[in-house]
A = this chain, B = another copy of it.
Amino acid sequence: MELADEAIRLADLPAADRRTIMILGHEASGIPSEALDLLDRAVEIPMVGTGHSLNVAVAGSLVLYKLAGLL
């Protein structure tokens, strides 16, 4: 999950149709560019309010539930 130029919004992430690996980026520095180049897709989680980042367990859970088709 990353604020990458080509990131899609979490709401637009379809359920996974194959085995999927999720990479979670650091809240400040994100995913290293050499790793980012290897990913099929970057996902951005929209935020509301004044926080700068989500707790990583929360961010990961949101994406996993979406990937599982449960949201």
Contacts and interface: CB of A to CB of B under 8 A. Distances in A.
Interface of A: 10-11, 45-46, 48, 54-55, 57-58, 61-62, 65-66, 68, 70-71
A51 B38 CA distance: 32
Contacts of A46: 70
A68 to B, nearest CB: 6
Contacts of A61: 54, 58, 61-62
A58 B62 CA distance: 8
Contacts of A62: 61-62, 65, 71
14 contacts: A10-B65, A11-B71, A45-B70, A46-B70, A48-B68, A54-B61, A55-B57, A58-B61, A61-B62, A62-B62, A62-B65, A62-B71, A66-B71, A71-B71
